[in-house]
Each structure stands twice: as C-alpha cells, then as structure tokens.
A and B are shown apart, each in its own frame.
Chain A
Amino acid sequence: MRFVQNFPFFSIILSMFAGIVSSVLPPRAAKWVNTVLIVTVGVMSAALLTFLSGTGEPFVYRMGHFPAPWGNEIRAGVLEAGMALFFCIIMLLSMAGGRKKLIGEVEYSKHSLYYIMVDLLLSSLLALVYTNDLFTAYVFVEINTISACGLIMIRQNGRTIEAAVRYMIMSLLGSGLFLMGLCTLYDLTGHLLMSNIRESVEQIMEQGVYTVPLAITIGLISAGLAIKSALYPFHTWLPDAYGYSTVSSAAMLSSLVSKGYIFLLIKIIYRVIGFEAFAQSKIIDVLFVFGVLGMIFGSVSAIRENDIRRMIAFSSVAQIGYIYMGMGLGTQIGMTASVFHILSHAATKSLLFIAAIGLTDVSRGSRRFIDLTGAGYRHKMAGAAFTVGALSMVGIPMFSGFVSKLLFAEASVGHFYKMLPAVIALAVSTILNAIYFMKTAIRIYVPERRMGREVITAGQEPVYAAVLVCFILLNIALGMLSQPIVEWIGTGLSMFG
C-alpha cells in the first residue's frame, strides 16, 4: 500500500482533531489552525487526485484492517478526491472572504466556536465523500447537520435562532427517514458496507423477491436526503438560514452542506442500489417532478424578494431543483450534468454571497434593492464579481452556468418522454433567472445622484478583493475547461460502478 492512500483517512481525522484542539485555543490560533487545516487537506486531496488519475483504479482503505463484511471502510476514486479538493477550495475562499465581516457579526470570544464548527463541517463533508459504510454515513450526516446548525445560530439574533430551529426540524425529519431506509436496507441485505449491500441487492433483484420493500427503501433514502438538501417544497428553512447567518456561513451552507448530501445520494444510487435499478424505479420520476417544480417556483420566489441575500437564497432552491431534475432523467449524461452543476453552483453561489456583502457594505448595510442603487460604482470589485456570478447563473457562455445548462439540455433531449417538460422548465427557469439577476445587476450599475456615500476600493480590502478574483477565475475555469472536467466526472462515475 502506498503512503498516499492514507490521505483520505488522514484528512478526516485531521479535521476532527483540529476541531477538538480549537476548543481550547484562543480565537487567533483557532483561525490559523483552521486555515492551515483547509490548505493541508486541499493539498492532500490534490495529491490523491493525481495518484488516482495515474493508476486509474479506485482503492479501498480498511479501517483497523478488519476484513470486508465486518470492518469499516473508506473508498476513494477520482471523483471523491476531486470533490474533496473542490470543497476545500470553496471553503477556504468562503472563509477568507467573510473573515472581515465575522468580527462585526459574531462576538470575538465566540470565534473559536465558529472555527470548531467549520473544522467539524469539513470533517463530516470529507467523511460523506469518502465513506464506504452506510451507518458511518448516517452518523456523519448528523454531525454535518449539527455543525451547520451551529454555523447558522452563532450570530445571535431572533431570526437566526428561529432559522436554526426550522433547519433542525427539517433536517431531523430528513435524517429520520434516511435512518429508517437504512435500517430496512440492513434488514433486507444483512450488510452495512456499500459493496456488500450492492451484491445482495443484485441477488434480490434477480430472484424477484422483496420488490415492494426495496422500492420503499429507495424511496425513504432518496426522500430523506432530498429533504436535507432543501429540494422544493422542503425549502422553507432555507431563505432565513442563508439570509441572516454570517456571510461565510451562508456561502458554505449553500455551496457545501447541501452538496454533501446530494453527493452522498449519488454515491448511494451508484454504489448501493445500482444505477440501473434506480433508473427503473418510480422514485426518479418523483425526484424529476419536484426538481422541475423547484426550478420554476424557486425562481418565482426569488423574483418577489426585495432583499438581496434572500433573493440569492431562493435562487439556491431553483439550482437544487436543476440538480434533482438531472438525476431524475435517469441517464448517465443527466447524472454527469448534475455532478457538473454541483460544482458550478457551488462556485457561483458562494461568489454571489461574498460579493453581495461588499455591495451592502457600501449601502449603509441595507440589503433592500432601492438602497443598492449605484453600489457597483462604490465598490467596483464586488460589483464586477456580482455581475460575473449573475451572468454565470443566467447561463451566459464563458461562465460555468452555461456549461451546466448546456449539459442539462443535452441530457434531456435524449430522453423519450421527459424531454418536453425538462426543456420547457429549463427555458422558463432561465428567463426567470435572467429577470431577477439582471434586475439586480442593472440596479447596482444605475448611477446614483445622492453624494457622500462610502466608497471602498480594492486596495482597502486586499484579501476580500483577492478572494473575489479567485472566485471569478474559478468560475471562468469551470466554464472554459468544461471538456476535461466532464471527462473527469465520467471516469469518476464509472469508477463508482
């Protein structure tokens, strides 16, 4: 076994220990531990990615060297390593971009707690990405929920506590369903490791027994994870949670937490149930319908919103709808489009949240549209970044959003009877996206007559400006280098099999 194969385990355990150690550190030290941790994990994931691209074979890491049906396992393929790297990049940029605001948003004495939550969030995300054991996945789903709840409620006002309660309730409903599905699956197959369950499920399918319990199991697991990742109509907690928490939390919640659950669901589809079995079940039609509804109604809610951060939050509902719509098509290319959209949405949505905070800063902290008039001139960097994010969300070529929309359209055209609803929903949703994002982009570039407003240049906030530049470059890279990325996703998905 090569040393690099230890890296998935190292990154999970390192982030966990960083969280534990941070509890006794002063805020400054906790901040450095957090930054060093994210960079280290990112570097390790990159090394793992190059190693795996070289060998072209996924590997299984046995925890404590117990053989297959009993021991706990970690499994890493190209897609997992790449996802871990991507999550680290987004997390690092989100933390750096929101750091200056954090001082005003959270009491200084509580900063250590904030970094603990971020460390734990990273560890649970990595575990969700790498684990090969369903019950471990459940435990880390709960850790993810708890740390996300901490990230929401660390900013102390009535709104965030209420949002945290709503988030917890919805999440617990989701994880209850997921746990029940997991237990019935264990009851049917007698295994907890994904590869063993897969074999048993194949046998069950061949013999043609237990069809109803298996369908119920697939339904419970999909519904649980869909509720947790805020698929329409389970999104009621989302606007408050994203709109009123600290800016780094909002960026990470929208781009990482919900994506972790979706990635787990994709993994379960491929590695536990089997893609063919999933595509034949009726569950994908349900996911498809809710995805399409989410694409439309999320955008409609966003148009009606008068608060820039809540508008971006509602836009997330629509984008989650896109991802589930792609999964609901039940084809390989649809799945590829969904995975690409996970990346594209994560890069764009965190950019939008971080850029929006710069715009509100130069508008006396107000988030209403009328006060944002001309904000693009007062904070040029944030204005440019917001425009890039908006263009990407609408789907202008060169940016990442265009490629994912193209992939979704391509995937839906190949489908027999879902083609029409999918293409219509894509078109309608794109127009609605354009309405609210272009409305905002035009609003921030309308010259304002009143003088004497605060002006912030890039030189005054070098870190913030650098973060925005990185986000813009990431977005353009996703948009321009789409071919190798799509190929990488394809290889990764085939490694799942």
Chain B
Amino acid sequence: MFGPNLFHNVGGCVAVILFGIGFSNLLLQKNLIKKIIGLNIMDTAVYLYLAVKGYITGRAAPIVTDGVQEVEAYINPVPSGLVLTGIVVSVSVTAIMLSLTIRLYRRYHTLDLDEISMRLKKEGL
C-alpha cells in the first residue's frame, strides 16, 4: 500500500505532517506566542504542499530567459502565485494576532490564555 506512492509523494507527506504539527500547536498550546508559531508552521506547510505540487522535475522557474518560450521548459506558475497570495494573508493575520497578544500582555502580564480567562471571570466584568 505504501511502497512507491509514498516515495513518490514524500514532499506532500512531509507537508501534511508539518500541517498537523502546526495545527495541533495552534489548538493545544496555552502560550499565545507558541500558538502564533504553530499558526505560521501550519501556513508554511500549506505553501510547501503547493510548491511541491507545482514542481515538475527537471524544469525551471517560469521566468523567460535566453528566449526559451516552450511550455515544456517551465514548471506550473499558478501554485507559486497562490503561495505569494497566501503569504500576504498569513503575514496580516500574524500581525493581528501579535498585536492582540501585546494588548493582553500589557493588561494581564501573562501570555497564558487560560489564566487570562480565569482572571476575567474573577473580575466579573
């Protein structure tokens, strides 16, 4: 079942494992900074997946050099474009998460989300 297919798709498998690592970090870590690191691992794993799927062995990046214009010379450019868009999105959500973390840290002097929730309950706001 796992023989040649696994070897063939080793990049995709690594990407999915990384995705799992990032996902569980974002979900389970208590520390907010570690959560954000998990988020970035998760997003990067998706880019790795896209890059692997867009790559065709033996071909170059789709930038026309030396006048070579055959389609066969280049890899699929669409996934690269998707990766770029994805990076923009991921940077902006990371920025928002970091700014929220700073806000919470200034107010409560801790990065532990559960502890913050407990204090909020005590405040009874």
Give A contacts to B, CB under 8 Å: 135, 138-139, 142, 145-146, 149, 153, 157-159, 161-162, 164-166, 168-169, 172-173, 176-177, 179-180, 183, 186-187, 192, 244
Q: Are B93 and A145 in contact (CB under 8 A)?
A: yes
> Chain B contacts of A145 at CB under 8 A?
93
Partner of A139, one of B23, B50, B89, B97: B89
Task: Determine the distance from Cα of A159 to Cα of B119 in the docked complex, in whole angstroms.
Answer: 10
Taking a contact as CB atoms closer than 8 A, the residue among B42, B49, B85, B93 that contacts A135 in the complex is: B85
Q: Is B123 interfacial (CB-CB < 8 Å)?
A: yes
Given contacts A158-B125, A180-B49, contact A165 B117 (CB under 8 A): no
B residues in contact (CB < 8 Å) with A: 12, 16, 19, 22-23, 26-27, 32, 35, 39, 42-43, 46, 49-50, 53, 78-79, 82, 85-86, 89, 92-93, 96-97, 100-101, 103-104, 107-108, 113, 116-117, 119-120, 123, 125
Please, could you name 18 A-B residue pairs with CB atoms under 8 Å apart, sorted by A? A138-B89, A139-B85, A146-B93, A153-B100, A158-B107, A158-B120, A162-B117, A165-B32, A165-B97, A168-B93, A168-B97, A168-B100, A172-B93, A176-B43, A179-B43, A180-B19, A183-B50, A187-B53
**Is A168 in contact with B123, judged by CB distance below 8 angstroms?**
no
Specify the chain A residue showing the minimal Cβ separation from B107: A158
> How far, in angstroms, from A157 to B103 measured CA to CA in the complex?
10
In the bound complex, residues from chain A placing their C-beta under 8 Å from that of B12 are 187
Minimum-distance CB pairs A-B, first 7: A142-B89, A187-B53, A176-B42, A165-B100, A161-B103, A179-B46, A159-B125
User: What is the CA–CA distance of A77 and B82 in the complex, to the nearest angstrom?
Assistant: 27
| Complex alpha-carbon distance, A166 and B32, angstroms | 10
CB distance from B21 to the nearest CB of A (A): 12
Please give, as numbers and ranges, the residues of chain A lying within 8 Å of B19 by CB-CB distance: 176, 180
Q: In whole angstroms, how far apart are the Cα atoms of A139 and B35 in the complex?
A: 22
Task: Count chain A CB atoms within 10 A of each CB in B12, B79, B100, B101 and give the residue with the most.
Answer: B100
Which of B27, B46, B103, B125 is in CB contact (< 8 Å) with A180? B46
